[in-house]
């Protein structure tokens, strides 16, 4: 790894100023599980590494009409904090990210901002209509996670801007989420495909009021499938409806062939996994039980 200068700013402003000063010569350090590998391979060679860990308040978790997740909350801390059927999909994604060791180090903010095509936490965050709180020395803004990722390893962060927290609005009643991930083995791998489904049911417990579908590793970034969501909204969740939604999601996926899998297999998996995820999310919405 090329030597660098190490900074430990104690405020968001100071961190933002450092990032502004050094521009593309600087990298922000959160969990480091992706950054250190990129640096070791020479893909990133920052002369300045800006640790975020001395900034107070970035690792907090609040529940108060929704969830406010600090960007430096570790993936383990996130998974451990979630038990509601509405957010179980996010817990499942957390527990399938890398290994326990990686989950203890990687952060929610880091997983989002690394912007991998297969970022595990993003499909559930898309399903939960998450919003991102961004700050720099001079400004603050809030954006939806949907649209924040603008290409592989690319985000809509402005120069010197930091992600400070992730906000999940209170899910409506009768909501369930489910996350499924297929890898080349049973654990410890990037996704070949991962999906998350959110189903919000009407009071009758049978009709889908509203749905969200999140897919990862089938496009440059994780995406929603609006066509699938529309196909489910207002409908009774019968087999044919679910299958149609899954196939519509397939049509919106743009998978590639790479070392892990072919585009054909990825496309096939979207259909298979989504049917299962929708059913599971609906069951959770119905039962309203925890894990």
Residues that bind other proteins (CB under 8 A): 1-6, 29, 32-33, 36-37, 39-40, 47, 49, 51, 53, 76, 95, 98-102, 104-105, 182, 184-190, 192, 259-262, 264-265, 268-269, 272-273, 276
The minimum distance between CB 181 and other proteins, in angstroms, equals 11
The minimum distance between CB 212 and other proteins, in angstroms, equals 22
The minimum distance between CB 102 and other proteins, in angstroms, equals 5
The minimum distance between CB 265 and other proteins, in angstroms, equals 4
Q: By C-beta, is 100 or 172 nearer to other proteins?
A: 100
The minimum distance between CB 20 and other proteins, in angstroms, equals 20
Q: By C-beta, is 32 or 66 nearer to other proteins?
A: 32
Q: By C-beta, is 10 or 99 nearer to other proteins?
A: 99
CB neighbourhood size of 72 (10 A): 22
CB neighbourhood size of 217 (10 A): 29
Q: By C-beta, is 2 or 236 nearer to other proteins?
A: 2
Q: By C-beta, is 233 or 265 nearer to other proteins?
A: 265
The minimum distance between CB 88 and other proteins, in angstroms, equals 15
Q: By C-beta, is 2 or 289 nearer to other proteins?
A: 2
């Amino acid at each position: 790894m090329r030597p660098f200068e190490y900074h430990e700013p104690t405020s968001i402003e100071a961190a933002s100023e450092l990032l502004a000063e050094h521009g593309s010569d600087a990298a922000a350090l959160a969990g480091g599980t992706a950054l250190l590998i990129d640096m070791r391979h020479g893909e990133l060679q920052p002369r300045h590494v800006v640790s975020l860990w001395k900034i107070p308040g970035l690792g907090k978790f609040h529940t108060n009409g929704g969830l406010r997740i600090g960007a430096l909350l570790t993936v383990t801390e996130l998974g451990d904090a979630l038990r509601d059927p509405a957010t179980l999909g996010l817990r499942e994604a957390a527990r399938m990210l890398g290994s326990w060791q990686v989950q203890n180090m990687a952060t929610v903010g880091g997983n989002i901002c690394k912007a991998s095509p297969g970022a595990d936490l993003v499909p559930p965050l898309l399903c939960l209509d998450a919003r991102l709180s961004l700050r720099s020395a001079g400004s603050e803004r809030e954006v939806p996670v949907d649209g924040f990722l603008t290409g592989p390893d690319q985000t809509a962060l402005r120069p010197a801007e930091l992600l400070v927290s992730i906000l999940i609005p209170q899910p409506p009643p009768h909501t369930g989420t489910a996350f499924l991930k297929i890898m080349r083995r049973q654990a410890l791998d990037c996704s070949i495909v991962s999906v998350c489904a959110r189903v919000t049911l009407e009071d009758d417990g049978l009709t889908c009021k509203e749905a969200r579908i999140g897919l990862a590793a089938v496009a440059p970034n994780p995406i929603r499938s609006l066509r699938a969501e529309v196909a489910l909204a207002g409908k009774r969740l019968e087999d044919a409806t679910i299958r149609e939604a899954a196939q519509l999601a397939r049509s919106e996926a743009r998978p590639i062939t790479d070392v892990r899998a072919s585009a054909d297999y990825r496309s096939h998996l979207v259909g298979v996994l989504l049917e299962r995820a929708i059913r599971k999310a609906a069951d959770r919405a119905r039962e309203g039980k925890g894990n």
